[in-house]
Amino acid sequence: MIKSQRLAQRFKTLVEIDSLSRQERDVAMELENILIKMGAIVCYDTAKEKVGGNCSNLVAKFKGSVDAEPVFLCGHMDTVGPGKGIKVQFEDGIFRSDGTTILGADDKSALAIILEVMDVILENKIDYPPVEILFTICEEIGLLGAKHFDYSLLDSKFGYILDSTDTEGIVTKAPGANKIIIKIFGKAAHSGAEPENGISAILVASKAISGLKLGRIDEETTCNLGTIKGGVATNIIPDFVEIHGEARSHDVEKLKAVTDNIVSAFYTAADQFKNGSDLPRIEAIVENDFTQTNISEDHRTIKLAKKAAKNLGISLASKIIGGGADANVFFGKGIVAGVLGTGMTDVHTLNESVAIKDMEDAARLVLEILKVHAAGEI
């Protein structure tokens, strides 16, 4: 029932509409027009005002043909760069760009798949539950669309996000994360004339970092210091350094422990350079970026997906990942979202691609999930 040519053409159309983060309006208008023609009730929240973009999160509701708990389907509208003027190439069943940009299969393959599923349901008069479609903004720049979404617009308490690679897997566990900002205040001095009168913020930073274990801490936990900015000239003792990092873990206590360890390392290093003054001084800012996702195998989200996969002759594996997605934000709001794959590969690179067969398989799985749910089999 999946129409390959329609799916491919729609994907190509969406990909060729520029939609970098904070610039999703044009693709949202295309999606809105399609959804309204399908009979959906479409609205937007006010997230654009909070993220400084030209478009908000799009919500489309289909009332369904059976009395069942509503389910949501989600993908994000934004892409990373270089993503302007994408020229789609299609050869041997695989979509690529011309090599000068990303393709945008992350995550426009999801948008095309969701639309195809609803087209198939409506044109074949297949029984289906109430479906809420959420197309988010600014996923690629810190999940900002999901973080600023107006959750009062969503009735569903469970659903599926299409934003992964493996078409035979569903993400059930993902780590929570903390953002860490460390500011080190030292004292400037001329490095040739009077270096003794200065306190190097860079030296304090290096002392702290040298004693830290970074990268993989254990199978559940990672941490990284990603950017360091400081100093103004080679002949001036640097009086300020700012470091941005993160910690991630599937375990809440481990996340707190590794975060605290990073912060304390800088305070300890600063103390070693103090000589009766209040400098060097440390300012540490820790913010929770997103909560961890941990979906039980007994949850309806997983049971429905695996039942649907079995019906299609597929073994759907539960996956544990190290990255974050909109699903993490939803989970923190009490909404359970299993993450499904579309087949996209080499995302965020000029080699990004997706096979039409994988998109078709993903569409069949989502369609079967809705059919199983409508039938009340789970």
Active-site pick, 24, 45, 78, 361: 78
Read off the pLDDT of residues 242-286 as tens digits, 9 standing for 90 and up: 999 999 999 999 999 999 999 999 999 999 999 888 999 999 999
Convert the pLDDT of each residue in 150-202 to its tens digit: 999 999 999 999 999 999 999 999 999 999 999 999 999 999 999 999 999 99
Catalytic annotation, pick one of 45, 116, 139, 140:
139
Assess whether 132 carries a catalytic annotation: no
Q: Could you tell me how far CA 324 lies from the centroid of its own chain?
A: 5
How would residue 231 be classed by pLDDT, with cut points 50, 70 and 90? very high
pLDDT of residue 282: 98
Q: Which domains does the chain have, with CATH numbers?
A: 4-174+292-375 (3.40.630.10), 176-290 (3.30.70.360)
Mean pLDDT of 65-73: 97
Average confidence score pLDDT of the chain:
96
pLDDT value at residue 276: 81
Beta bridge partners of 60: 42, 133
Sheet holding 215-218, edge to edge: 215-218, 221-230, 240-249, 176-185, 281-290
Q: Residue 140 and residue 152: Cα distance in Å, rounded? A: 23
N- to C-terminal Cα separation, the chain = 23
* pLDDT band at residue 329 using 50, 70 and 90 as cut-offs: very high
From the list 150, 198, 190, the residue with the least C-alpha distance to 51 is 150
Of the pLDDT bands very low, low, confident and very high (cuts 50, 70, 90), residue 324 is confident
Please give the single-letter amino acid code of residue 170.
I
- Residue 107 among the catalytic residues: no
The C-alpha atoms of residue 190 and residue 103 are separated, in whole angstroms, by 50
Q: How far apart are CA 53 and CA 36, in angstroms?
A: 23
Q: Which helix (H) or strand (E) holds 51?
A: helix 47-51
The answer on pLDDT for 100 being more than 90 is yes
pLDDT tens per residue across span 349-374: 999 999 999 999 999 999 999 999 99
- Asked if pLDDT for residue 225 goes beyond 90, the answer is yes
Mean pLDDT of 71-91: 97
In the three-class reduction of DSSP (H, G, I as helix; E, B as strand; rest coil), residue 10 is classed as: helix
Q: What is the predicted pLDDT for the residue at 323?
A: 86
Any residues with CB less than 8 A from the CB of 8 and at least 6 apart, and which? 90, 95, 356, 359
pLDDT at 377 over 90: no
pLDDT, position 330: 96
pLDDT at 208 over 90: yes
Percent of the chain with pLDDT over 70: 100
Local confidence band at 102 (pLDDT 50, 70, 90 cut-offs): very high
Q: How large is the average pLDDT for residues 227-234?
A: 96
This prediction has a pTM of 0.91
The C-alpha R_g of the chain, in whole angstroms, comes to 24
CB 296 within 8 A of CB 310: no
